[in-house]
Structures are given as structure tokens and as C-alpha cells.
């Protein structure tokens, strides 16, 4: 049986721009642990297009990035707001092109406050991080215990495994039908 949840991912095959790491915010790890950052978010956070992808300059609605966060266009932000997705905050960022010039200052990082303690650790066959024993670094097959997921959860990260964002399947279908670009969804079985 398919899960009621899929993984939020990036469309890496359509030739949209690829970004580098976040600049002007050193605590980027907080973007994956459910922490509210609105009070401490600087107003000069930038992401520059990755020099390894010089020919890819077109902006999509969700920009590919190595930080594993949603970097949303005004259209994607509006869609998320109209759908009343709970537990989100929008943190402004500036996108720089390959020459360091502003490509857009209308994008936001969608910071998820929702962390669900929903992994079936035994069924997943997890490998724990030796340095941080509260964090999973690998698994045989990721399995969610859906009975432990809040009924209101639309978009969230999993406790112990913040590398991915999970989304309710019906919401993923609505995103796909909306025409928003740069987003691709993956089955849980695709991870590993």
C-alpha cells in the first residue's frame, strides 16, 4: 500500500537555476529543526546561483538548493498561504545571479515549524549518528507510522531525520496541478 505521504523534492532536470549555500546566516541548521526564526532573521540573507551551473539562470517557483529548504517565489508563497498550510513562516532572501547581481529579492525561505515524531524506527532499519545519537544518518527503507502524524499536518519534517520534507499526498497532487515550477515529489521508497 502506498503511503499517504510523499517527499517534497526539486525538479533538477528542467534547467532551472541551482543555488549555493545561504549567506549572512550561520545557523542554517535551525531551518531544519522546527525552530521559529522570524525574530532573529537578518534582512540581508542571500543565496547566489551555483557557479557549477553557469548556464542555468531561469528562476522557478521553488529553487534548487543544497540547504534542503523550500525557497519560494511569490506565486508559491501565495499558494501555500491560500491553502492555509499550518506551521509555516516566510523568511525573506535575495537571489543573486552568477555575476553577483540581484536576480530577485521577492523570494522567501519557507521555514517549517512542524516536526512530527512519526518514524517507525524498527521497520525503517535506521542507522544512528555516532556523534549526535538523536539523529538518523541512514536507513534500509524509510517507513512512517502514519497513526502518529497530526491530522492537520500538511508539510513537515520528521523527528530524528530532518533531511527531508514530507507532504500529504493529496496536497502534493494539488501542488502538481497548480502549474508551479521547480517542484517534484518522490515516494518514500525512492529514498535510501
Residue 6, burial from CB neighbour count under 10 angstroms (0-12, 13-18, 19+): buried
First CA to last CA distance, the chain = 18
d(CA 157, CA 15): 27
pLDDT of 192 strictly over 80: no
pLDDT of 133 strictly over 80: yes
- CB atoms closer than 10 angstroms to residue 35: 14
d(CA 164, CA 27): 18
- The per-residue pLDDT for 183 is 97
Cβ-Cβ contacts under 8 Å for 65 (sequence gap 6 or more): 10, 18, 19, 20, 21, 47, 71
- Segment 48-65 shows an average pLDDT of 96
pLDDT of 1 strictly over 60: no
- Segment 25-54 shows an average pLDDT of 93
d(CA 152, CA 77): 19
Say if residues 132 and 163 touch (Cβ distance below 8 Å). Answer: no
- The per-residue pLDDT for 125 is 94
- The per-residue pLDDT for 128 is 94
**pLDDT class of 29 with cuts at 50, 70, 90:** confident
| CA-closest candidate to residue 114, choices 1, 2, 8, 189 | 8
pLDDT of 95 strictly over 60: yes
pLDDT of 172 strictly over 70: yes
- The per-residue pLDDT for 21 is 94
- Segment 140-168 shows an average pLDDT of 95
d(CA 109, CA 52): 22
Compute the mean pLDDT over every residue in the chain, rounded to the nearest whole number.
94
Indicate whether this model's pTM tops 0.75.
Answer: yes
What are the grid coordinates assigned to 2, written together? 502506498
**pLDDT class of 2 with cuts at 50, 70, 90:** confident
- Segment 147-156 shows an average pLDDT of 95
Going from N- to C-terminal start, the domains of the chain cover 5-190
- The per-residue pLDDT for 180 is 98
Amino acid at each position: 500500500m502506498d503511503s499517504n505521504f510523499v517527499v517534497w523534492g526539486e525538479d533538477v532536470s528542467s534547467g532551472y537555476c541551482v543555488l549555493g549555500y545561504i549567506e549572512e546566516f550561520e545557523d542554517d541548521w535551525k531551518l531544519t529543526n522546527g525552530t521559529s526564526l522570524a525574530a532573529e532573521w537578518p534582512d540581508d540573507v542571500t543565496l547566489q546561483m551555483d557557479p557549477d551551473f553557469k548556464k542555468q539562470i531561469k528562476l522557478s517557483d521553488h529553487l534548487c538548493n543544497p540547504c534542503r529548504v523550500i525557497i519560494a517565489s511569490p506565486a508559491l508563497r501565495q499558494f501555500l498561504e491560500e491553502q492555509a498550510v499550518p506551521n509555516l513562516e516566510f523568511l525573506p532572501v535575495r537571489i543573486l545571479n552568477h555575476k553577483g547581481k540581484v536576480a530577485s529579492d521577492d523570494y522567501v525561505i519557507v521555514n517549517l515549524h512542524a516536526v512530527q515524531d512519526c518514524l517507525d524506527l524498527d521497520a525503517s532499519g535506521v542507522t544512528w549518528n555516532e556523534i549526535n545519537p538523536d539523529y538518523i544518518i541512514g536507513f534500509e527503507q524509510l517507513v512512517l507510522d502514519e497513526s502518529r502524524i497530526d491530522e492537520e499536518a500538511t508539510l513537515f519534517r520528521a523527528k530524528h531525520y530532518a533531511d527531508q520534507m514530507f507532504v500529504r499526498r493529496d496536497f502534493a497532487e494539488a501542488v502538481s496541478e497548480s502549474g508551479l515550477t521547480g517542484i517534484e515529489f518522490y515516494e518514500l521508497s525512492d529514498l535510501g
